[in-house]
Amino acid sequence: MDFEPYRGELVAYCYRMLGSFDEAEDLVQETMLRAWKARDRYDRTRASVRTWLYRIATNACLTALEGRARRPLPSGLGAPSEDPGAPLTSALDIPWLQPFPDARFDAEARTGLRLALVAATQVLPARQRAVLVLREVLEFTAAEVAEQLGTTAAAVNSALQRARAALAGVGGVDEITEPDDPEVRAVIQRYVRAFEAADVPALVQLLTDEAVLEMPPVPLWYRGSRDYGLFMERVFRMRGTGWTMTPLTANGQPALAAYAPEPGGGHRLHTLQVLTVTGGRVAHNVVFADPHVFRAFDLPRRISSDGFRRAR
């Protein structure tokens, strides 16, 4: 019995449930091990291998989530800061939401992984979260989900209705354009040119008026192109100019690996930035500085001045 063809979609599912790519990989490994040990008890007349694996993965996720706080982004914890010079103090006690490394999985596994949507679903109770993902994203029937959760189809439909109502206020997700859209690519290319040139006015021109900038594990965040620009001026004062950026994707969105200049030459990895582009403008930028995130995306820690990888 071969479970490997399902690994990618199971990792994406566990990521949606947990908000952590690291934990998702661990739980899928646990799921595969449980399935292998129970393979003699699998009844193909009751469920397909895929449905059976999702039942095991769901139980593993629900167990892992017992008594655990949700994984937020800074914008989910309070009001935006009005001080672009506020101290950048990391809150390492908060289990921050992590991004998803698209390049490691096929396109089908990445369906429904928008960062804003994953952050929003973290607010739902664990079982509602499972119902929402299994029904809305993975398109299992109510009966199949009921079997996976050990409940009834009526209870599944009720949980789905409550989950939908809770997420009704999450706007803009459907408006996000795919990262390979020509307009999005053009916006990202202009953003990269402005960033590498330390041209803050050009960066600000690429933002929506209410653009959001947040930087986990730093708990503060900013709203509005003015404060975004003031903060970027601070970044270039602190870290210098002459940055270089490498395009990639995360959560089905455009992303950039940002490398800051080093005094002796070359560049050191500074952040991974996941951008939301709507209406030809950058509406949201989530800037990750967690080494665990860098490893998940297989990003080199340093690159030489000509852009080649130098060391990890």
pLDDT digits (tens, 9 = 90+) for 241-278: 999 999 999 999 999 999 999 988 999 999 999 999 99
Q: Is residue 183 part of a domain?
A: yes
Q: Is residue 302 part of a domain?
A: yes
DSSP string, 193-206: HHHHTT-HHHHHHT
Record the pTM: 0.92
Alpha-carbon separation of residue 294 from 38, 76, 133, 258 (angstroms):
35, 23, 26, 11
Residue 236: count other Cβ atoms within 10 Å of its Cβ.
16
Measured distance CA(77)–CA(87) in Å, rounded: 17
Q: Is residue 237 part of a domain?
A: yes
Interhelix angle 21-37/49-65, rounded to 10 degrees, is 130
Q: Is residue 134 part of a domain?
A: no
Structure confidence at residue 46 (pLDDT) = 85
pLDDT in tens, 200-232: 999 999 999 999 999 999 999 999 999 999 999
Q: Is residue 299 part of a domain?
A: yes
pLDDT in tens, 281-296: 999 999 999 999 999 9
Residues spanned by the domain of 272: 176-311
Question: Which range among 146-150, 256-260, 306-310 has the greatest average pLDDT?
Answer: 256-260
Q: Is residue 200 part of a domain?
A: yes
Instruction: Give the pLDDT band (50/70/90) at residue 174.
Output: low
Query: Measured at the alpha carbon of residue 117, what is the angle toward residues 112 and 120, in degrees to the nearest 5?
Result: 145
Domain count within the chain = 1
Q: Is residue 215 part of a domain?
A: yes
Number of helices (H), then strands (E), in the chain: 11, 8
Q: What is the CATH number of the domain that holds 282?
A: 3.10.450.50
Q: Is residue 207 part of a domain?
A: yes
Strand 207-215 vs strand 281-288: parallel, antiparallel, or unpaired?
parallel
